[in-house]
Chain A
Amino acid sequence: MKKLINICILATLPFALHAKENYEALAVRNIPDSLKSGAHATFRYDNTVINVVDIENVKSVRDYAVTIFDEKGMVFSQLVESYNKASSIEDIDATLIDADGKEIQSLKQRDIQDRSTYGLSFEFNSDQRMKFFSFQYKNYPYTVVFHIEKKLKSTFLIPSWRARVSTISSVENAQLTITHPDDLPTRYKEYEMPANLIKKETKDSKGSTTNSWQISNLAAYKEQPNSQAGNFDAPTVALSPSKFRLYEHEGDLNSWQTMGAFFYQLNDGRDELPEDKKALVKSMVADEPTVYGKVQKLYAYMQQSTRYVADEYGISGWQTFEAKDVCRTGYGDCKGLVNYLKALLKAADITAYTTLVYGGAEDIDRLDRTFPDNNFNHVILCVPQQKDTIWVECTSQLCPAGYLSDFTSDRDVLITTEHGGWLAHTPAYYENVNYVNRKAVMNFDPANTNNQVVYLTNVYSGPMQDPTSNFVKTKSAKEVSEMVNKKFSFPSYAVKTYHYDHQLNDNHIPSLNESIEADVNGIINSTQKRTFINMAWMRNPMEDLYQLSPRTLPIVLNESYAITDSIEVTIPAGATIENMPTDIETKLPFALYKVHFNFKDDKITMVRTFKQIKGVYEANLYEAYQKLYKDIASEKNKLNVVILNKAS
């Protein structure tokens, strides 16, 4: 299979190969030591050339060579390319080179596997398919040279580009070149670029512009947990078209306003309901005095009568099924369900807007306000009000209206309206509503050497209540019983009774009351002369951000929350306390930690509070973070009230 290498590339790239046979430059000995250190693979060159021919024809050619040093780097030797109805893979070629730069094998087309994504993703129906190939070679080190040609049938689909440097891979040379007609510009923005970036722009006489970015010698970096602020953690060029045509629908991504307008128009007029449904809506909301009340009622109706099924074949990846289809089938994807509720609200004379969002608990910074880009993976519904806009997560059958959970909270979103799109920010849940308050009460009975009875009364609120609350609402009684016998971190225990009670506060934030009675082993232990009452069996409330190397990047904490534990132990009257732990208080910019002990009327009480404050914190605070984490972890062993056993 001939490789087609653009002459322009040959002129600019030191590592481009002119002929099939000459791979000596790829010998492993040519890799600088600095790029081998810490890396399990090195991208020797990684060149992407994008040619925007016209609005429905974009060619993309990627040539790259990656040297694999060991098993951990093997993931980079695997080729995985996706395509769909609006794109095609025109050519794939691959060659396996040994450590000295000699060719060992080349790809046979029959070895390329082609697979549907059904069963691999959440989608029931999709036109997305994948091609896989790997030499599965184990004689390290070796190099694989790949050539992939793709055709995109719309400028809408131009992907962003990133250099493949990571915690396990380094990059010797990487380049992106994009050529477009001047009347069909592709916008771009660079992120996390190194100082040695070479950037060029040339215009030719035929009315087209070529932009290129070249970077080199990026060493693998050490893992630094929770360090990514913003959308990207590696050198990236985000690319976004201006004009495009997608399945015959035309649009413009130049601004958030025009982007919103496109999505609005693509989905407009698909919210017609059958007459009987409209009449039902009117009757359902007739006695509801408030807008929230109406929204909640219709939302609950939708939750009970529909379910999530993602049919995103072709244009359905962006355009919703009609409301009357969802009505008939009883299912839809996020767009379909949002559109359906929008239609129900319309029948109740309530205006609502489809809102584009990037969902994911850790993905609060995906949207860059300064760079309009179609970087969304989900839609929610926005019901604007004078005060307190009502946000609705239509794919949930459990949330109340107005509550988003951490999947889409606290981030910029794009509301699509008849006037175009505008940016908004979804509500954030701070520690005053995102918390766990746990209370444990036990009565230490020295005569009972088998176990101790512990009474737990816990309250979970906001996103912290979601996992348990959703589980309790959807699973069988047997499964809930199994769950309560696993979730607590007692060394060994058996739940005797449990009860759950779901609540909703005035701001539509759900909370969960949990009461448990359990026989517990391992938290009150006796030696020959003493009894140790462990007051810190609970999980560490901090996230473990351990790293071996020195911290150089900021610490990014995406969530504010509070966890409070109150433990009350009644001990026998007249018992002698040999050791009562002392109070602790630590105040840091990102956290507050307090432990307070009290002993009165034979009752020992401990109140332990941890609060995390979300934000981006300087790297020099990392040591303090780790120290606090370790101190709390060591309390598991250290925080004991020690009582002297009564002599028998």
Chain B
Amino acid sequence: MRGKININPMKTLSTVSLTLFSSVLFAQSGINLKDESFLKKELEKTRYEIDSDAKAIILFEEGSVYFEDDHYDYKYEIVAKLLSDEAIEHLAEVTIPRRENMVITGISAESFNLNGGKIERTKLESDNILKDKIDDKLKVIKFNIPGVKKGSIIHYSYKFHKSSAVSVPEWPFQNLYPTLYSKYSVRLPGTFSCNSILRSGKVFKEASKEKELETCDACQFTEKYESTGSYMAWATKNIPAFVKEPFSSGKDNFMERIKVMITSVYLSNGSKYKLFNNWTDFSKKFLYDNKEYIGQVFSPNNFLDDKVNEITKSAASDIEKAKSICNYVKLHFSMVHNDDDNIKSVFRNGKGDVFGINMLMIAMMKKAGLDCDPVVLSTKSNERLSSLYPSPYDLNYLVGYFKDGNNKTYLLDATAYNLPFGTLKPECYNGYARIVNETGDAINLSPDEIKDKTTTLVSIKPVENNSLSAKVDVKLGIFKSMDMRKDAKGDSTDAKNKLIQSLAESMISVTPGTLSIKNFNNPDEPITMHYEGVIKLDTAVSTFYITPYLSKFYTKNPFTAIERNLPVELDYNEDQTLIYNFQLPENYSIDDFPKSYSIKFDNNMSFSNTYNYDVEKKTLTMASKFQTTATTYPAIEYKNIRAVFEKMVEEQNKKFVLKRSHI
């Protein structure tokens, strides 16, 4: 979390976890790089029982944190077997971020190979440990482990010292590769109280001695020292690789890990300083009361008076005022990644990050007398917030919560350039979030609440000379409109081209000049498209196979995997409708059409195709509809979801048959 709280989270990188090199424990966890027969055996292996398909195996990984006062020493160590070129690229090149208040020491790295039955060890030379200054805020230490190829074993370790720290780094037991042994230990001073939050598929047994951690499947050890502190350690074995799947939220929601949250600190005067006790306390102390951070919006902010008056002078109601302010900020302030969340500076410079821009919007709302407060949240790529404990380092987004005079509420984001007033970007609907005001309530931003409703109307009528005229009207839902606007930067030319090209597959010849796209640059309204065309009926034949699906809901089943482990999480609910009306010409009849069809799953997902042929009125109508009313489904239901989409694409590939009567 950025801002004025003196807490620096250490987000672990996937290539960089932190383990401790302790020669005693190291050997007793089953790994002993000094033992030639052990090394030879591992070097000869080409596959491992835990996952015969793995591209690498983490044989050993250990991290330790030794906290004293407001600083800690961190040690990391890893031993890995590399079984593929891709894993080599990923694991043999190591980057260690070096932020402020961090001093890195004690780097060592080596590789082992088997060459003609002999073990070859190649050590990293200190000349090859390189520094790079990425920018003003970040430096890195980087190195490439020498002598690495398929089958190599790599081993490296390092330590760093971090000052001005009030948080403990998180430790993932699980990696992108299977891990045979993982251990994490934390030593905290007696002045700290903490909670530890464990996520694992196993139950961790309580060990009476730390030695048990070397051999148990999953256990933890805790030791409290009177006044001098506490020591906690966790170890687990045989953790499978984490595999990301499409249509799921961030990996941090699933990966097995341990989180140690410091909840309070005893100060030298004996008083207890609560840090992350619960959300209410945390929100009040670090957000609401923090005048240099989110508390800014609750300050007088008189410098905004003139501008707010100017923007809202012709607004007749609360909602109109809110829209004027939100649109003004959207139009005049650029979102940049510069950590500028000072409202005055954002206002002056015309740019800021999402916190800065939305806080400016909220402050302006308050200036206009509107009821609007900040909401802090964690976006979908991040770990979901828990109601049970505050996790400040996961708060990576801020929006506005506005209540109009009729108690109707709106969620506002002045950086959601392609979305209407009151709709957030899909990544913001990630469950538990917090309103920041005096009481500080929770709020649930569920993706079930948002929906994309897209409608296509096709009307086919006869014209002279064995032709049919087609009129098509499409109204895109909120998110399909957003997608179309997203990369276009206000220019609808590409969208028009894409639409014309997609029609190459249909029988319709678009009449030039009839294609229009409306509201492309008006995000408060859905995009609508209209075009007209002609279908020529060849007089040389009398049977025509016609598809009513000018655009399919899905051209391919998006659920391509056969099996699934993670829950299916859609970004939003869908409501797609296609209505096709065909007024037949004289001397023509519908000889054949598909049977009406519907498929439903769990009352939350359904697809239906309904055909109706009125022989007397000579009309054929077809209505195709796909709907979801829930966005999250357990993995066990994956096959059913896949089946709905399978049937949907199958049905939308069908045709009806038009015949010309012989006179």
Contact = CB atoms under 8 A, between A and B. Distances in A.
B140 A118 contact: yes
A634 B545 CA distance: 13
Given A307-B149, A309-B144, A330-B146, A525 B86 contact: no
Contact of B128 (A329, A532, A547): A329
A18 interface: no
B547 interface: yes
B350 interface: yes
Contacts, number: 180
Given A309-B144, A330-B147, A476-B53, A116 B135 contact: yes
Contacts of A286: none
A638 B506 CA distance: 9
Contact of B142 (A125, A523, A546): A125
Given A305-B149, A526-B594, A528-B593, A116 B89 contact: no
Contacts of B333: 138
B89 A307 contact: yes
B55 interface: yes
A201 to B, nearest CB: 42
A635 B647 CA distance: 22
B414 to A, nearest CB: 12
B159 interface: no
Contact of B332 (A139, A307, A492): A139
A476 B54 contact: yes
Nearest to A132: B135
A161 B561 CA distance: 50
Contacts of A633: 501, 504-505
A530 B592 contact: yes
Contacts of B54: 476
A189 interface: no
Given A70-B489, A630-B504, A115 B653 contact: no
B657 A138 contact: no
B334 interface: yes
A7 interface: no
B580 interface: no
B593 A527 contact: yes
A477 interface: yes
A529 interface: yes
B367 interface: no
Interface stretch (A361-369, A483-491, A506-514): A483-491
Interface residues of B, number: 72
A98 B562 CA distance: 57
A541 to B, nearest CB: 15
Contacts of A602: none
B130 A309 contact: no
B14 to A, nearest CB: 14
B645 A492 contact: yes
Given A114-B135, A633-B505, A637-B507, A491 B555 contact: yes
A45 B209 CA distance: 76
A634 B336 CA distance: 44
Interface string B587-602: 0000111110000000
B136 interface: yes
A486 B560 contact: yes
A623 interface: no
Interface in B118-148: 122, 128, 130, 132-136, 140, 142, 144, 146-148
Contact of A579 (B93, B147, B545): B545
B493 interface: yes
A528 B93 CA distance: 62
Contacts of B491: 40, 70, 72
A491 B489 contact: no
A466 B657 CA distance: 43
A501 to B, nearest CB: 19
Given A307-B149, A529-B592, A629 B134 contact: no
Interface in A438-459: none
Interface string A120-145: 00001100000000011111000000
B501 A546 contact: yes
Contacts of A331: 144, 146, 148
Interface in A332-380: none
B594 A329 contact: no
A567 B336 CA distance: 53
B543 interface: yes
Contact of A137 (B53, B86, B350, B656): B350
B556 A546 contact: no
Contacts of B133: 116
A521 B560 CA distance: 13
Given A329-B128, A527-B656, A530-B592, A491 B334 contact: no
B545 A532 contact: yes
Given A330-B146, A491-B557, A309 B93 contact: yes
Contacts of A306: 149
Contacts of B334: 136-138
A543 B85 CA distance: 32
Interface string B488-517: 111101001100110011110000000000
B351 interface: yes
Contacts of B547: 637
B448 interface: no
A207 interface: no
A578 B93 CA distance: 63
B556 A491 contact: yes
A116 B142 CA distance: 13
B148 A307 contact: yes
A307 B89 CA distance: 8
Given A116-B133, A116-B135, A331-B144, 14 more contacts: A72-B490, A113-B135, A125-B132, A136-B351, A137-B350, A138-B334, A307-B88, A330-B147, A330-B149, A476-B55, A521-B647, A547-B497, A633-B504, A638-B545
- 6 closest residue pairs by CB, A with B: A136-B334, A492-B557, A491-B649, A72-B489, A329-B146, A633-B504
28 contacts: A71-B489, A114-B135, A124-B144, A135-B350, A136-B336, A137-B350, A138-B333, A139-B331, A328-B147, A329-B144, A329-B146, A330-B111, A476-B55, A489-B556, A492-B556, A492-B650, A522-B649, A525-B653, A527-B593, A528-B592, A529-B591, A530-B592, A548-B493, A548-B496, A548-B500, A630-B504, A634-B506, A637-B507
